[in-house]
Structure 1
Amino acid sequence: MKQYIYKAYGMGVFICLLIFSSCDLTTAVDDVEPLYTISADEAIYDEKSADLALLGVYSGMTQYGLDFPTVFFVPDIFLGYSNAGFYANNEEQLGWSSNNPILTGSIQHGAYTRFYSLINNANWVIEQTGMLSDDIFDTPGRRAEVIAEARLMRALATFYLLRAYGQFYDTSSEFGVVLRTDPARYEEELPRSSVQETYTAILADIEDGIANAPENRGKTFTNKTFARAFKAKVLLYMGDYQQAASEAKAVIENPGSGFALEADYASIFGPHDSPTLFEKSEIIFGIPGVETPEGTGVGWGNFYNGFSAGVDPVYFDMVNTGTLTIGGQTIAHDGGRVESITDPFGGSLGTPLMTKYSDYTTDYEMHYVMRMAEIYLIHAEAAARASGMVTPEALSSLNEVRKRAGATTTGGDGFETYPESISLSEFLEAVRIEKLVELYAENGENWFDAVRYAYEDGGFNSGFQVSEIKATATDPNKFIFPIPQTSVEVNSLLVQNPGYQ
């Protein structure tokens, strides 16, 4: 089967080469007659062509239609703090709201195949660039950087697949994802790897990124700091808390040039009328939205416009009135962050809108893959879990994020930093809530946190339950998406997730 590389035009920052392959698609590549194609093994022959092909890998994470971003905004609907908006008009969308996603959803299939297309694009770049010699590249070390950036994107796509479609919370589970580390040259059936095998593959790609990725050639490209931060996050998900804490601490203490907490929370997410949006020190790595001179809003923010998703009033109530009582103090969850990144009136739609991604009038949008605040919160949780107690370092990391948001240190009630008297269980709940406020609507992070916490606290059988947040979330089998049925049907080795057979 011949492999091709597409030239894609008019994609704003991602005017680039796109590698096309089947890779878990239901339509065979041989049935497609693309325009403007060249053989993949002829397309990468020097530094410029390698960089163009690499841009094709990055473009796989931009927003095209509804199918792809579902794995990022639907988890917020699962948790109940976002709603399906006016778009909730069929069985699939209503299923999201009740934590019962249906099996045959075409939207879920689109997201699943898009990730594998990105992975296959990365595999071609890795293989073909690896065949070149260093002296072909004008920039010293650029060959290794291209490969490292592609491997980091492959790791990211694999991680997102694992979270959405695999039992990511249990390293002993057989239900990982199908691993693809070579370009697809023919129709090939592969079985699912275990969760541990999936994490091992992700970490191998990350290690190459740590060793060889660029320091910082722009926040819209993977880099060494992202590789180090991403490693800490993966280790946290694996339950390797000691190493996760160590890696996160190293990033906090030595983040690299151009990386730091922004002084003001709201300033991270604007302005939307300037590309300076992509230059903020807070951003470790992000994907820019599709730029449109007409201001039509076709990027990530388009999904929080009230039709696909909106900010549920339950979230406003939780943030604005929620408190934890610690050592006699009544400590508020937030002091204004949510108001700074939402439109509570919802414009003409009458539903609260999320404005982290767009103000719905201008062009520049950013999908925040990782921010510095997340690293502080990863460190806080991992350090506490690893030590079995609230260490001063863990408490400091949590409070740094709160202080940036305006928390005071007077030791009174209200939006305060957490005191040294906080217990371990109180602290872990405080970290989860802090992430719920700080990272709301970013990658569905809050849903996956709730699932991790519940599994860690008794394997879904005791302790903290996801249903404490979302009453209908009682079936752990429905905590992840089903493998799309169309993919199961074309791969006899692909086993469906439990509860969806």
Structure 2
Amino acid sequence: MKRILSYIIILGVAAGQYACNKQLNALPDQSKVEENVILDLKGAEVALNGAYYRFVNGGDDRGVPSTITANDREIFPGRLSGYVEYPYGGGDLTNITIQAESFSILPAWTNSYMLVNAANGVIKGTEALPPAKISDQKRKEILGQARFLRAYGHYRLLSYFGQFYDINSAYGALLRLEPVTSNNISKQRSSVKESYDAIMEDVDYAIANAPATNTSYYASKWAAKALKARILINRAQPGDYQEVINIGREFMGGSPYSLEADLRQLFINKGIESNEVILGILPMPNQRSKADTYFYFGPGYVPTQPLTDIFKGDPRANWVLGDMSGSVGITKFIGPKVEHCYVFRLTEIYLLTAEAIVRSGGSVTEAGGYLRTVMEHAGVTDFTAVNNATTADAMLIEIYKETVRNMICEDGQEWFALLRLPFATVQSIRPAIISINQYILPIPRTEFQRNAQIGEQNPGFNK
């Protein structure tokens, strides 16, 4: 696909054909995309860039075009997991007392549906193009990327707002498989199994048809495989763990990616240009969104005591956490690449592979080997805890701890790794969780006001 992703084009597309109200499920102009934009290959590419604009949470940050990603995908799950906090007050994320009217949950819901809706516009318009207007190969590559984006958006919705951990639950995602119009805005949510089936259909299509290689800020077959591994570890159905292992070994044995020799250099100097990054977010010129999110007024967000404790004795404590205007802040991203964001890194694949080996009854020693490899690349030299983890339960705890230390504030990895542990362990790590109902969030109240057919609220919450 032509590299037409200039952020000027993206902003133009987003402001026009792809602009939505920030109202939940508000009718977008996207119903006109097929006629006005996707008339040929170039139109399909421009529309796809508009969907990527939604993927990066593109917007205006006090007059500066920015990828407004940090709060939604980095701070939000960090606060849910109890490792990151706003220093000037607690709140419903700190205590996990979120309710349907809570403002804090709206970005995770609204941004995901804007992405899904934009992807749907690309899919519908590109599928409708006659063969004379687009080659079969280009059509498949564009659809592969669009379906990856739709799968990513739907999976975020399922994992944050649906009982993703129970395949038999009726509380799945509200699936949107076509652009929203006045005729279909009212829709019932799907079951968890139906949600996984639809998401996996998109992921498998992306694996088969997305470009084999792409720049690190566009989706590829490898990004789709990474998404599949992330989904399967949580779906946890027969054969899922083995497939995660297979994906992991494929990455390690035949992918264009390799672990960064010095993890700190990835964040400080290399950013998404690092050969470890499978998919990342390239900032717009001169943006300041993330820097302000983390560092404004001294440290904008600070590590909690549990996060400080988990870094005790670890060499990364000296640069993941550090001094910010006299207070301890999250300094992991400080450097020329501060505004870069990371969606999938090879480290995650190593950690998921190790976890899948243990959960499938495989060799704890083999899993420990993958874990030590990741830690070595992060500068760790003391592997006593890993070497002493000779049981499955002990190894899972070590994998969880490394996930926190290595991937804190990276697309929710610390939160979902926590929720895969036994409930008693989750409670001991995150005492605010007193019920499994708190593993997911309530559907925002505004959705019930606009969509009478959606169904019941998630258990434990009011509409």
- Write the distance in 1 (CA, Å) between the matches of 2:50 and 2:312: 42
Q: Which residue of 1 aligns with 2:386?
A: 418
Do structure 1's residue 78 and structure 2's residue 80 form an aligned pair? yes
Deviation at residue 476 of structure 1 after TM alignment: 2.1
- Write the distance in 1 (CA, Å) between the matches of 2:25 and 2:159: 25
Counterpart selection for 1:407 from 363, 380, 386? 380
More helix by share: 2
Q: Which residue of 1 aligns with 2:64?
A: none
- Write the distance in 2 (CA, Å) between the matches of 1:68 and 1:197: 30
3-state SS of 1:396 partner:
helix
Unaligned runs of 5+ in 1: 1-8, 322-333, 409-413, 455-459
* Structure 2 CA distance for partners of 1:277 and 1:13, relative to 1, 3 Å: farther
TM-score (norm 2): 0.87
Q: Which residue of 1 aligns with 2:65?
A: none
Deviation at residue 253 of structure 1 after TM alignment: 1.6
Counterpart selection for 2:147 from 148, 151, 170? 151
Q: Which residue of 2 aligns with 1:475?
A: 435
Q: Which residue of 1 aligns with 2:252?
A: 252
Q: Which residue of 2 aligns with 1:320?
A: 312
- Write the distance in 2 (CA, Å) between the matches of 1:186 and 1:169: 33
Q: Which residue of 1 aligns with 2:277?
A: 283
Letter in 2 for 1:185: T
Q: Which residue of 1 aligns with 2:419?
A: 451
- Write the distance in 1 (CA, Å) between the matches of 2:116 and 2:216: 21
- Write the distance in 1 (CA, Å) between the matches of 2:20 and 2:50: 16
Deviation at residue 51 of structure 1 after TM alignment: 1.2
Deviation at residue 290 of structure 1 after TM alignment: 3.5
For the aligned residue pairs, the C-alpha RMSD in angstroms reads 2.9
The answer to whether the 8 A contact 2:310-2:405 is kept is no
Q: How does 1:32-43 map to 2 (within 5 A)?
A: 39-43=33-37
* Structure 2 CA distance for partners of 1:481 and 1:13, relative to 1, 3 Å: farther
The answer to whether the 8 A contact 1:23-1:117 is kept is no
Unaligned runs of 5+ in 2: 62-67
- Write the distance in 1 (CA, Å) between the matches of 2:241 and 2:222: 19
Deviation at residue 303 of structure 1 after TM alignment: 2.6
Do structure 1's residue 235 and structure 2's residue 229 form an aligned pair? no
Q: Which residue of 2 aligns with 1:184?
A: 180
Q: How many residues of Structure 1 are paired with residues of Structure 2 in the alignment?
A: 441
The answer to whether the 8 A contact 2:279-2:345 is kept is yes
Counterpart selection for 1:166 from 159, 162, 165? 162
Q: Which residue of 2 aligns with 1:374?
A: 348
Q: Which residue of 1 aligns with 2:108?
A: 111
The answer to whether the 8 A contact 2:145-2:210 is kept is yes
* Structure 2 CA distance for partners of 1:432 and 1:103, relative to 1, 3 Å: same
Deviation at residue 249 of structure 1 after TM alignment: 1.9
- Write the distance in 2 (CA, Å) between the matches of 1:220 and 1:490: 34
Do structure 1's residue 220 and structure 2's residue 217 form an aligned pair? yes
Counterpart selection for 2:404 from 436, 444, 452? 436
Q: Which residue of 2 aligns with 1:337?
A: 316
Deviates most, 127-136 or 434-443: 127-136
Deviation at residue 398 of structure 1 after TM alignment: 1.4
- Write the distance in 1 (CA, Å) between the matches of 2:259 and 2:25: 45
Deviation at residue 16 of structure 1 after TM alignment: 5.0
Post-superposition CA distance 1:41-69 (Å, at most 9, x none)? 22112222211111111111324468983
* Structure 2 CA distance for partners of 1:364 and 1:401, relative to 1, 3 Å: closer
The answer to whether the 8 A contact 1:67-1:109 is kept is no
* Structure 2 CA distance for partners of 1:425 and 1:68, relative to 1, 3 Å: closer
Deviates most, 100-109 or 44-53: 100-109
Letter in 2 for 1:52: V
3-state SS of 2:367 partner:
helix
Q: Which residue of 2 aligns with 1:5?
A: none
